[in-house]
Structure 1
C-alpha cells in the first residue's frame, strides 16, 4: 500500500484506505487489504492516516475509521465502513476495478 499524496488526491480515481494508528478494527481491515494486494501482487490501495488529514476528513464527511473510499471520475462513489470480510471488499473491487480480474498476458 502506498501512502496518499496531494497529487493522488487530485486524481480522478483511487481506492483509499483511511485509518488511525491505534484503532484495532483498522488493523484487521488493513490485513484484509494486504491479503488482496498479495494475491494480485500489486499495490491497489492508497492509505491515509486520518489524524494527518483533518480537512479531507471534514470536506468528504468521513464518519469513522476504518473507511475505504472509492473515487471514480472526480466523485466519491462509495465510503465503506463495515469491511466485514475479504469477500465483501472483492465485491466492490469487481464493480469498480474490474480490470484487476482480467487475464494478464
Structure 2
C-alpha cells in the first residue's frame, strides 16, 4: 500500500480515471493497526489492487469534504460512482469481497 499525501490523493480523486480505495488511519489507533494487517493479507492475495493509505491527521481538507467521522475508514471510489465509506472491518474475507471488484476495473 502506497502512502499518499493530501495533494496526491486529491489528484487521483479529481482525475476520476480509475477505481481505487484508500485506507484512512492514525498511527496510534489499535483498530487501525488490525485493519492494516487485514489489508496487507488482501494485498498479498491481490498485489495489483489499487489500494492506498493516508494518515487522516494530515488530511484536513479531505476529512471535512468526505465527512469522515472516525478511523479506521476505507473510502472506495468506483469510476463514475460516488464514494463509499466503510468503518466496520469484521474480517479479511468481508474486506476482500468489498475490494475485489476494484481489481477488475
Fold match (TM-score > 0.5) = yes
Q: Is there any run of 5+ residues in structure 1 with no aligned partner, and where? A: 101-105
Provide the C-alpha distance between the structure 1 equivalents of 2:88 and 2:3, rounded to a whole number of angstroms: 22
Provide the C-alpha distance between the structure 2 equivalents of 1:73 and 1:43, rounded to a whole number of angstroms: 14
Give the alignment partner of residue 47 of structure 2, picking from 41, 44, 52: 41
Give the alignment partner of residue 97 of structure 1, picking from 93, 99, 102: 102
- Decide whether aligned partners of structure 1 residues 76 and 65 sit closer, same or farther in structure 2, where only a CA change above 3 A counts: farther
Provide the C-alpha distance between the structure 1 equivalents of 2:61 and 2:81, rounded to a whole number of angstroms: 17
Confirm or deny: 8 A CA contact 1:68 1:81 kept in the other structure.
yes
CA drift of 1:67 comes to 0.3
Provide the C-alpha distance between the structure 2 equivalents of 1:77 and 1:42, rounded to a whole number of angstroms: 20
Give the alignment partner of residue 53 of structure 1, picking from 59, 66, 71: 59
Structural RMSD (CA): 1.9
Counterpart residue number, 1:26: 32
TM-score norm. by structure 2 comes to 0.82
Give the length in aligned residue pairs: 99
TM-score norm. by structure 1 comes to 0.82
Confirm or deny: 8 A CA contact 2:20 2:77 kept in the other structure.
yes
- Decide whether aligned partners of structure 1 residues 62 and 76 sit closer, same or farther in structure 2, where only a CA change above 3 A counts: farther
